[in-house]
Structure 1
Amino acid sequence: MATPPTIHYPRSLHSGFLKHEATHPDFVALSVGGREYTYAEVGETARRWAGALREAEGGRPSRVAVLGYRSHTSYTAVLAALLAGAAFVPLNPRFPVARNRAMLERAQVDALIVDAADAAALPGLLDGLARDPAVLLPDTETLSLPEHSVRPVLLRPDLERFAPTDELPRTDPCDMAYLLFTSGSTGVPKGVPISHGNVRAFLDVNQDRYRLTASDRLTQTFDQTFDLSVFDLFMAWDNGARVCAIEPIELLSPYDFLGRNRVTVWFSVPSAAAVLLKRGSLRPGRMPTLRWSLFCGEALPQRIAEAWQAAAPSSIVENLYGPTELTIACSAYRWDPASSPQECHNDLVPIGRPYPGMIPLIVDERLESVAAGESGELCLAGPQRFAGYWRAPELTAERCLERDGLTYYRTGDMVRAVRAADGPDADLLFLGRNDQQVKVGGYRIELGEVEAALRSAGSVEAVCLVHPEREEIVAFVSGGRTQELLASVSGRLPAYMIPRSIHALEDMPRSSSGKIDRNALRRSLISSSEGCRVVHAR
């Protein structure tokens, strides 16, 4: 196998992979589906598909969609899109067809790469598109598609005829690396384009923080439509390490997986750890191979951080924070068993200090800077801030703030800066979303404080909402005895803050990213409480 040529272009999202493909081709890049794939194997396949993408488009494609689920094809397709000079646009097989089709339409993709398990969904997905993308089906021998399709459809035999391309287009920092779609308040997915420059700034800060080496093995617990999956893939590939994709069923008891794969870096949403804690399996010393334990995507409760630290005693536990618009994560807090419990607020671990280069601004409702130590909405500027929503200038103007020559992204998260225990720098405390401060019966209430009281009383997870049809607080809990929870919060909170009812759930509803689905809980209040055991507070 010929050694790929050295690349001297500006550093890109995929430049680390190219380096290790050339220097350490026999290192394992990916473990998935019970198989291991080396940098040489993944690179050769991605280069073959990249050549096919360029030929199908008649030049450099702009955007390539990827439809697959934790497969060799879905991960390799991401690299193939980048090598072809395109941005990748992940779709999710678990999403409704209409949502995936809307994402295809809005992204105006040139091509679509689909794994074998999801090829049957193609006819419905492509039906009605204004412009058919080229379709690559690397694992599929035959497939019948709508007759009106005029774009190329390349099956496995077709792709095997392509030679791996060594002619890679130049990638500049301002070029789009990926386009993710997040939920929009109007029901229309919001497109968030992230540039190579954005994600390179993120990777460089994180490598300086974590010092990964080729001996590291990282989990992949996320669906590819969740931007945290980019951390696992490219923090590994940037440093010659391997990614170990874990199946969702294994997340219910990951210990054998971690030991078998000798995983050193765990990364997940806190809810994944909460499930283990609730099941009683998160016991001390169960994860001895881990040296880093990272959590992001939602607030990290103190109880979960403490239990995880005990279960992975050789690892350093960190709480990462950041919306998609600020490129995966933009601040971090390192858990210290001795001092961190005193630094938690409302039972939540701080989100720490912004990454180098990221500039925080905390503003009040009038968008004026708050005084030191006061709470307000967190805004951030810096190299990880996206340029704006995909073809939505009005939404960009609404969510961005110009101040002193800088453009800040308004996160919608309420924070307060407090002096850290280890020096003069300030840590940020997460206080909740700005829509979690509600008014009930004339009283201003932080729902996060009520949730903290429920967790402290014994619930593993707790979500509080204001009923959409009545002015009252409703709680959903997972774990703990409802009568005991009610008695405890009644002794800790003023009467106006006590939930009107507590719904006990066996399992919280989850979004595709694994986070608690608050919208599903809100909908359940309108429709039915089936599956809940309800205790009325008064």
Structure 2
Amino acid sequence: MQEPQPSFLHAGFRASALRHPDRPALTLDGRTWTYGELDALALRWAAALTAAAGGRPRRVGVLAHRSVVSYAGFLAALYAGAAAVPLHPKYPAARNRDVLERAGVDALLADGGALPRLGPLLTGLAVAPALVLPEHDEAPAALPAGSRVLTRRDVAAAEPQAAPVSPDPADTAYLLFTSGSTGRPKGVPIAHTHVASFLRANTERYGFTPDDRFTNTFDQTFDLSVFDLFMAWGSGGHLLPLGATDLMAPLDFVRDNAVTVWFSVPSVAVLQHRRGRLKPGSLPGLRWSLFCGEALPDTVAAAWQEAAPGSVVENLYGPTEATIACMVHRWDPRTSPDRAVNGIVPIGTPYPGMAAAALTEDGRPVADGETGELCLSGAQVFDGYLDAPEQTARAFHTAAPYGGEPGRWYRTGDLVRRTADGEFAYLGRLDTQVKILGHRIETGEVEAHLLRQPGVAQAVVLPVPGDEEGVTVLAAVVSGDGLDVEAVDDGLRAALPPYMIPLTYHPLDTFPLNANGKVDRGALRERVVSGDLEPYPL
């Protein structure tokens, strides 16, 4: 059984590697790495990162996708005593460049899929990070003059570290960038102490063992992937990432690979349910079925439970700022359907070391049964956004909802209702932030980029129901003289990740206004949903 985690993120993996180095740790495309092999890679690559950076690096970028570099590279960054900064090779170069600059990345690990993107990415940086290519013999063309590059030969010549660096628990373990309403993503540093609290709570809750086999459905730019990697490796389990084709038929993957622990956004289950694939008893090998990142429809939870009768189904909740997940509801076919609100499974009660409260705009608690903003306090809540003190101040209440001394409460922006038994029901968003396939998106960020496109005078981005039950998509209403919607779409795709691109565009000459003279978003949404405002045929 998994032992309680020490106070830094990579300690669980290291303990498993020392305890049973020959057990399988990771399988990708038919190739399996043992704990000993991954540990050896991470120690050697950590030494190369330190040499490339000219000393212990502070932050290490990992530009990779579902390759051994993306997994061992994350470990190597931690082993070197740095904060890991995951980047997606398919995201626009301008966005990744902004992350590199703002994070102050000292060294960048890259896999083969990222090689063609390195030149455009690094060009224009005031200070380019050192580049480490552990699987390639030559540096790519078009790198900025004077770039420091370590190739496979250089990495192989590095003397491996004897052991991982043990950082201060208050040091940043990883740095993620989430959608921001200003048009720039927000940097969220998560310290080792924050994630250690999360790991301890889940270790005690789930009791994973070396015999467990875990999925990995999330990209590493999404914080839920931290659960996959480090809960699997802390237990000595086997991590089995799904490829793009596997995600099209995930239930086959679960059966073919004898998966025991499933973790995904609800959208994956919604789609399987809609297609009639959640047959009763069809997933007999699952022990745990965990969902997070979006609202979980009760009909889907019930269907999944019937498909996996030997599995415990849970709905987890947590913003990136509160470290992956910090609340949970365990599905019970007898009682949970009656606890659902608007067909949505409750988000439950807080983890040990965490507290939740429904507060008013000015930080006062609302009575049980009334609607308020979910605010969180405790060991998993981050200290503040990267280099953004004003943004940080706006994100917190100073309140004492349970009496005692006032404390800091993170404002999630989610509307909730607390029931008499202490559970919280999710009711929707307080602001314009939405979840698309589990990714948190500020519609204001998409609007900001739309307004930068030639010909766009006004833009409103709306969350609307998709074709699949329980799936939300984005629709953009745009206006402007001589508007070229196809060019606008092309421009947006060059600036934003695919999950942030509106599914439909709806040209409109004049936007409706409400009584306050503001754009009436509700009226626009009604026209889009009803079909009155037709989409442009892309």
Normalised to the residue count of structure 2, the TM-score between the two structures is 0.81
Letter in structure 1 aligned against 2:467: S
Matched-pair contact (CA < 8 Å) for 2:26–2:238: yes
User: In structure 2, do the counterparts of structure 1 residues 219 and 147 end up closer, same or farther at CA, with 3 Å as the change threshold?
Assistant: closer
Aligned to 1:507: none
Q: Does 1:54 align with 2:55?
A: no
Partners of 2:293 and 2:124 in 1: how far apart?
34
User: In structure 2, do the counterparts of structure 1 residues 526 and 536 end up closer, same or farther at CA, with 3 Å as the change threshold?
Assistant: closer
Q: Does 1:213 align with 2:197?
A: no
Q: Does 1:171 align with 2:170?
A: no
Counterparts of 1:406-445 in structure 2, within 5 Å, are: 406-420=407-421, 426-435=422-431
Matched-pair contact (CA < 8 Å) for 1:349–1:429: yes
State the secondary structure of the residue aligned to 2:51.
helix
Partners of 1:254 and 1:264 in 2: how far apart?
13
Partners of 1:175 and 1:476 in 2: how far apart?
41
User: In structure 2, do the counterparts of structure 1 residues 358 and 526 end up closer, same or farther at CA, with 3 Å as the change threshold?
Assistant: farther
Letter in structure 2 aligned against 1:476: P
Aligned to 2:293: 297
State the secondary structure of the residue aligned to 2:128.
coil
Matched-pair contact (CA < 8 Å) for 1:10–1:172: no
Letter in structure 2 aligned against 1:22: L
State the secondary structure of the residue aligned to 1:348.
coil
State the secondary structure of the residue aligned to 1:31.
strand
Q: Does 1:41 align with 2:62?
A: no
Q: Of 255, 261, 267, which aligns to 1:265?
A: 261
Q: Of 505, 511, 536, which aligns to 1:524?
A: 505
Counterparts of 1:22-421 in structure 2, within 5 Å, are: 22-146=18-142, 148-403=144-399, 404-420=405-421
Q: Cα deviations across residues 40-91 of structure 1 (Å, max 9, x unaligned)?
A: 0000001000001111222210000001111111110000000000000000
User: In structure 2, do the counterparts of structure 1 residues 286 and 526 end up closer, same or farther at CA, with 3 Å as the change threshold?
Assistant: farther
Shift of the alpha carbon at 1:99? Answer: 0.8
Counterparts of 1:499-514 in structure 2, within 5 Å, are: none
User: In structure 2, do the counterparts of structure 1 residues 235 and 10 end up closer, same or farther at CA, with 3 Å as the change threshold?
Assistant: closer
State the secondary structure of the residue aligned to 1:181.
strand
Specify every segment of 5 or more residues in structure 2 that has no aligned partner in the other structure, as ranges.
400-404, 436-442, 448-457, 470-492, 510-523, 534-538
Aligned to 1:442: none
Matched-pair contact (CA < 8 Å) for 2:6–2:196: no
Shift of the alpha carbon at 1:189? Answer: 0.9
Matched-pair contact (CA < 8 Å) for 2:17–2:39: yes
- Bigger RCO of structures 1 and 2 (CA < 8 A, at least 6 apart): 2
Partners of 2:73 and 2:394 in 1: how far apart?
34
Partners of 1:183 and 1:93 in 2: how far apart?
18
**Which stretch of structure 1 is more off in the superposition, 352-361 or 35-44?**
352-361
Aligned to 1:502: none
Kindly tell me the number of residue pairs found equivalent between the two proteins.
Answer: 461
Partners of 2:300 and 2:243 in 1: how far apart?
22
User: In structure 2, do the counterparts of structure 1 residues 414 and 85 end up closer, same or farther at CA, with 3 Å as the change threshold?
Assistant: same
Matched-pair contact (CA < 8 Å) for 1:26–1:39: yes
Shift of the alpha carbon at 1:255? Answer: 2.6
Shift of the alpha carbon at 1:219? Answer: 0.4
Letter in structure 1 aligned against 2:408: T
Partners of 2:298 and 2:287 in 1: how far apart?
20
State the secondary structure of the residue aligned to 2:381.
coil
Aligned to 1:423: none
Shift of the alpha carbon at 1:387? Answer: 0.6
Shift of the alpha carbon at 1:35? Answer: 1.0
Partners of 1:155 and 1:353 in 2: how far apart?
49
Partners of 1:89 and 1:194 in 2: how far apart?
11
Matched-pair contact (CA < 8 Å) for 2:119–2:143: no
Partners of 1:527 and 1:71 in 2: how far apart?
44
State the secondary structure of the residue aligned to 1:73.
helix
Shift of the alpha carbon at 1:372? Answer: 2.5
Matched-pair contact (CA < 8 Å) for 2:465–2:529: no
Matched-pair contact (CA < 8 Å) for 1:253–1:281: no
State the secondary structure of the residue aligned to 1:101.
helix
Aligned to 2:465: 476
State the secondary structure of the residue aligned to 1:314.
coil
Shift of the alpha carbon at 1:479? Answer: 4.2
Shift of the alpha carbon at 1:195? Answer: 0.3
Shift of the alpha carbon at 1:427? Answer: 0.6
Aligned to 1:488: none
User: In structure 2, do the counterparts of structure 1 residues 284 and 72 end up closer, same or farther at CA, with 3 Å as the change threshold?
Assistant: same
Partners of 2:370 and 2:30 in 1: how far apart?
51
Matched-pair contact (CA < 8 Å) for 1:47–1:165: yes
Shift of the alpha carbon at 1:536? Answer: 5.3
Q: Cα deviations across residues 137-166 of structure 1 (Å, max 9, x unaligned)?
A: 112122334464434201112111123211
Shift of the alpha carbon at 1:172? Answer: 1.6
State the secondary structure of the residue aligned to 2:505.
helix
Partners of 2:133 and 2:116 in 1: how far apart?
11
**Which stretch of structure 1 is more off in the superposition, 89-98 or 148-157?**
148-157
Shift of the alpha carbon at 1:23? Answer: 1.1
Matched-pair contact (CA < 8 Å) for 1:322–1:330: yes
Shift of the alpha carbon at 1:518? Answer: 7.8
Letter in structure 2 aligned against 1:390: L
State the secondary structure of the residue aligned to 2:358.
strand
Alignment RMSD? 2.8
Normalised to the residue count of structure 1, the TM-score between the two structures is 0.81
User: In structure 2, do the counterparts of structure 1 residues 137 and 516 end up closer, same or farther at CA, with 3 Å as the change threshold?
Assistant: closer
Partners of 1:234 and 1:287 in 2: how far apart?
24
Matched-pair contact (CA < 8 Å) for 2:43–2:79: yes
State the secondary structure of the residue aligned to 1:520.
coil
Shift of the alpha carbon at 1:302? Answer: 0.8
State the secondary structure of the residue aligned to 1:524.
strand
Shift of the alpha carbon at 1:435? Answer: 2.7
User: In structure 2, do the counterparts of structure 1 residues 402 and 474 end up closer, same or farther at CA, with 3 Å as the change threshold?
Assistant: closer
Partners of 2:139 and 2:500 in 1: how far apart?
39
User: In structure 2, do the counterparts of structure 1 residues 40 and 185 end up closer, same or farther at CA, with 3 Å as the change threshold?
Assistant: same
Specify every segment of 5 or more residues in structure 1 that has no aligned partner in the other structure, as ranges.
1-8, 421-425, 438-446, 449-464, 481-510
Partners of 2:166 and 2:238 in 1: how far apart?
26
Shift of the alpha carbon at 1:249? Answer: 2.1
State the secondary structure of the residue aligned to 1:411.
strand
Q: Cα deviations across residues 377-425 of structure 1 (Å, max 9, x unaligned)?
A: 01111000001000111100010112233211100000011134xxxxx
User: In structure 2, do the counterparts of structure 1 residues 168 and 130 end up closer, same or farther at CA, with 3 Å as the change threshold?
Assistant: same
Shift of the alpha carbon at 1:246? Answer: 0.3
Partners of 1:474 and 1:129 in 2: how far apart?
35
Partners of 1:526 and 1:327 in 2: how far apart?
39
User: Percent identity at matched positions?
Assistant: 49
Aligned to 1:6: none
